[in-house]
Amino acid sequence: MSQIQITGQNIEITQTLHSYINDKFEKLTRHGNKITSSHVTLNVDKGGRQMAEAKLHVPGSEIFAKSESEDMYKSIDALLDKLVRQLDKHRVKDQEHNR
């Protein structure tokens, strides 16, 4: 998988968070899509909501997902679930297109 760019807004990206994201995103490569770049943004709003969003570039498309909860790790996990579903849809669509 390509390098993952991680940025934070109103949150410090600790080494633990960085490693957690890298480990989780590594699992996305198992879904048969060639991810050329990834950008993850973590944000904590004034109300304390923990938000994670990601933009993935795959050949011919861009995949975006966003998740929020009261815990950043839960937000990241939910984000990954959304990305997996979108990657699977994209892969099926590509397979149907290439038949």
Looking at CATH, the fold of the domain delimited by 4-97 is given as: Double Stranded RNA Binding Domain (3.30.160)
Q: What is the pLDDT of residues 6-15, one digit of tens each?
A: 999 999 999 9
Across the beta sheet with 61-69, what order do the strands follow? 4-9, 37-44, 50-58, 61-69
Length of the chain as a residue count: 99
Specify which residues 55 forms β-bridges with.
39, 64
Inter-residue contact 22 to 2 (CB < 8 Å): no
What is the C-alpha separation between 2 and 4, in angstroms, rounded?
6
- Higher per-residue confidence, 90 vs 80: 80
User: Does pTM surpass 0.85?
Assistant: yes
Q: What is the pLDDT of residues 17-65, one digit of tens each?
A: 999 999 999 888 776 668 889 999 999 998 989 999 999 998 888 999 9
94: burial class by Cβ within 10 Å (0-12, 13-18, 19+)? middle
pLDDT at 94 over 80: no
What pLDDT was estimated at residue 98?
66
What pLDDT was estimated at residue 58?
87
What pLDDT was estimated at residue 67?
97
